[in-house]
């Protein structure tokens, strides 16, 4: 989904409330977590971060809270000023219907805001958010992926046979490689098809409009070879 306009407004309001300064410069958002975006915004806007100190973590905690409040206040703007990418709803429903499929999200958004986005576009029921990874987590994306798999195994008391990560940035593809999971990259963000292939995605799609293509890729990449 594309809700960049709403997100930017929420970032600006939360940043101003925490730092007392306007958010003049915003860093690149693709593939970054909300916590990364905050600290990079501090640097770009010449605000002392104290990133490694207790003060820096307290500032981050306050920012995450303000970001949740600012985003929730814009709930009704998500569908008005944002959009669900073509084919996304159908792709999510179709992959959810695969035998034994379990879906969650590993995202740069903090969990409450991820839930707001999914709910706004009618997708929340297709994902188990308890086993996801979010922008407030103090882990790189590759570690988040591994933690999400572990959380699924613990919650459902069963091994996860295979995992495939749908991503739209070269940073996410690199995270999947680090985590040792398969990756379907969608060229719907700032990363091009060429960049996603160069990052070594297992499958690269231009978009999600061909539902059968998405399902085939997910099914093939999660297929477990039969024991001999």
- Average pLDDT score, the chain: 91
**35: β partners:** none
Amino acid 190: pLDDT:
83
Q: Are 217 and 185 in contact (CB under 8 A)?
A: no
Amino acid 161: pLDDT:
87
| 46 CB-near residues (< 8 Å, 6+ apart) | none
Residues 61 and 120 in one domain: no
pLDDT digits (tens, 9 = 90+) for 83-141: 999 999 999 999 999 999 999 999 999 999 999 999 999 999 999 999 999 999 878 88
pTM metric for this prediction: 0.89
Residues 111 and 215 in one domain: yes
Amino acid 32: pLDDT:
82
Amino acid 208: pLDDT:
96
Secondary structure of residue 115 in the 3-state scheme: helix
CA 26 to chain centre: 18
In the chain, which stretches have pLDDT less than 70?
49-55, 224-228
Distance CA 13, CA 107 (A): 21
CATH number of the domain to which 137 belongs:
3.40.50.1000
Residue ranges making up the domain that contains 209: 83-221
Residue 226 domain-assigned (yes or no) = no
Amino acid 203: pLDDT:
97
Number of domains forming the structure of the chain: 2
Amino acid 228: pLDDT:
39
Domain boundary at 34, 60, 79, which?
79
């Amino acid at each position: 989904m594309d809700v960049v306009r709403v997100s930017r407004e929420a970032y600006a309001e939360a940043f101003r409330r925490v730092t007392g300064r306007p958010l003049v410069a915003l860093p690149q958002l693709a593939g970054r977590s909300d916590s990364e975006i905050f600290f990079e915004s501090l640097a770009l806007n010449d605000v002392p971060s104290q990133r490694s100190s207790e003060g820096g973590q307290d500032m981050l905690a306050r920012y995450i809270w303000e970001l949740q409040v600012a985003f929730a206040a814009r709930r009704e703007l998500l569908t008005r000023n944002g959009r669900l990418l073509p084919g996304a709803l159908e792709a999510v429903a179709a992959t959810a219907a695969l035998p034994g499929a379990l879906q969650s999200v590993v995202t740069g958004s903090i969990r409450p805001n991820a839930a707001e986005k999914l709910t706004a576009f009618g997708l929340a029921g297709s994902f188990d958010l308890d086993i996801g990874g979010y922008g407030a987590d103090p882990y790189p994306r590759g570690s988040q992926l591994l933690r999400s798999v572990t959380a699924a195994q613990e919650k459902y008391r069963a091994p996860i046979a295979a995992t495939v990560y749908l991503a739209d940035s070269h940073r996410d593809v690199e995270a999947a490689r680090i985590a040792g999971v398969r990756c379907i990259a969608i060229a719907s963000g700032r990363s091009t098809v060429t960049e996603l292939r160069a990052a070594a995605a297992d499958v690269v799609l231009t978009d999600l409009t061909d539902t059968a293509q998405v399902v085939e890729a997910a099914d093939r990449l999660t297929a477990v070879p039969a024991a001999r």
